[in-house]
Amino acid sequence: MSLLKFTSMACLALTLGACQSLFQPSMHTALQTKRDAWEHTKPGCTTPDCPLVNLDVIHFPAEPELDPIIERRLLQLTRTDNNAPLPASLKEYEATFLATAPNRYGSYLQSKIREQHDGLVIIEVSSYLDNGEAHGIPGRGFINWSRQQHKVLTLQDMLVPGQEAAFWKAAEEAHRGWMSMNGLASDPKFINDWHFKQTPHIALTYGGVILKYDVDTIAPYALGQPEIKIDYLRLNGVLKPELFPGRG
């Protein structure tokens, strides 16, 4: 091959690579976010214990379809009754809450990026309802966003078909490890009162698959919202191969 021809081909390859970088953002480049944070109290209220709504959320200018998904997840966390209708928007929720909540009530809502890796954006959403009691009501959830597929991954999207039972078996094994690590495996009262359960809160983090639990689900309120990690090695043949870190 002549030097001229080789140089021309190299230039063409560089040009094509530049075009691809313009139109297909690298999955190794983190998505940029814009933060929106504020706290509003009940209009006209001047006492120290006015009802308030505190919001701290992120927006994705490059993937605007994520914003309404995050908003809906946050609105789901505001419900104290699972059968109650969702407010149309966070603004509507704020207006209703401030108009109807008693003094000393506060609603805190947050979304943040937990991790970005391998074309996945792991978003954690959280809530806390301060109802004036000694203990408020916290909530958590995850959004596993695939930048390649432009969709939220469900558990069915994550697993090899037919492997859901195997996944929860691995989760139960990880739960036993969590109990041992926290000194609970030898506590007969804990073992009798608190059992392993499935959870919808699942995150594909780089270090393992994380299961998050609401308070009073698998442990008493004092232990907060437990996290159980399943090592990826336990999920060979269970999790889709392309979702293992480094394989995508």
Residue 3, classed as helix, strand or coil, is helix
> CB–CB of 78/107 below 8 Å?
yes
Domain boundary among 126, 152, 178: 152
- Residue 12, pLDDT score: 43
Would you say residue 7 lies in a domain? no
Strands across the sheet containing 208-212: 201-205, 208-212, 227-230
- Residue 133, pLDDT score: 85
- Residue 22, pLDDT score: 39
Would you say residue 142 lies in a domain? yes
**For position 207, which CATH number holds?**
3.90.640.20
CA dist., res. 173 & res. 71, Å (int): 34
pLDDT per residue, tens digit, the chain (248 aa), is 544 444 444 444 444 444 433 334 466 789 999 999 999 999 999 999 999 999 999 999 999 999 999 999 999 999 988 888 999 999 999 999 999 999 999 999 999 999 999 999 999 999 999 998 888 999 999 999 999 999 999 999 999 999 999 999 999 999 999 999 999 999 999 999 999 999 999 999 999 999 999 999 999 999 999 999 999 999 999 999 999 998 75
Phi, psi values for residue 15, rounded to 5°: -65, -45
- Residue 5, pLDDT score: 47
- Residue 82, pLDDT score: 82
Domain that holds residue 45: 34-152
> CB–CB of 211/199 below 8 Å?
yes
Would you say residue 25 lies in a domain? no
CA dist., res. 37 & res. 34, Å (int): 10
- Is 66 in the same domain as 139? yes
Number of domains in the chain: 2
> What is the Cα 4 distance to its own chain's centre?
53
Token pair belonging to 91 = 């603004």
- Residue 3, pLDDT score: 45
Would you say residue 18 lies in a domain? no
Residue 50, classed as helix, strand or coil, is coil
CA dist., res. 50 & res. 218, Å (int): 34
Q: Kindly report the pTM of this predicted structure.
A: 0.86
- Is 38 in the same domain as 136? yes
